[in-house]
Structure 1
Amino acid sequence: MRSDSGFKGNKQSLPSKPCAACGRPMTWRKRWARNWEEVKYCSDACRKAARGSGG
């Protein structure tokens, strides 16, 4: 485990929100730190499915 991150392993305190396509809960990821407000889909598959249905 990397020691340079501030994360101590408490995943309960991370924010989450539902996927716009499938409704599954998405937990915050460091990768999404800069654009968490814009994240709508939990995966590429959900993103593609939503675009294919006219979204």
Structure 2
Amino acid sequence: MSRRPSEKPAKTCVTCGRPFTWRKKWAANWEAVRHCSDACRSGRYARAKKEKESSGVA
């Protein structure tokens, strides 16, 4: 039986700061998971945010 989304453990992504919840694919290494997505893990999200801020676009 699966848990309700509100009962699943949650963490905050170290790159973007957004909260994310436990997923079955992370069951084996949940303690080591630090990022909410592959984009955050690879730094694509952080680079895009930095470029947007430096170009002066709101």
* Structure-2-length-normalised TM-score: 0.69
Provide the alpha-carbon RMSD of the alignment: 2.1
Give runs of ≥4 in structure 1 deviating > 6 Å: none
Identify unmatched segments of 5+ residues in structure 2.
48-58
Counterpart in 2 of 1:45?
Answer: 39
Q: Identity rate of aligned residues, in percent?
A: 50
- Alignment partner of 2:34: what SS? coil
* TM-score calculated relative to the size of structure 1: 0.72
The offset of 1:24, in angstroms, is 0.5
Q: Which has the larger radius of gyration?
A: 2
* Residue 8 of structure 2 is aligned to residue 14 of structure 1: yes
**Larger fraction in helix:** 2
For residues 48 and 31 of structure 1, the distance between their equivalents in structure 2, rounded to whole angstroms, comes to 18
Segments of structure 1 that go 5 or more residues without pairing to the other structure are 1-5
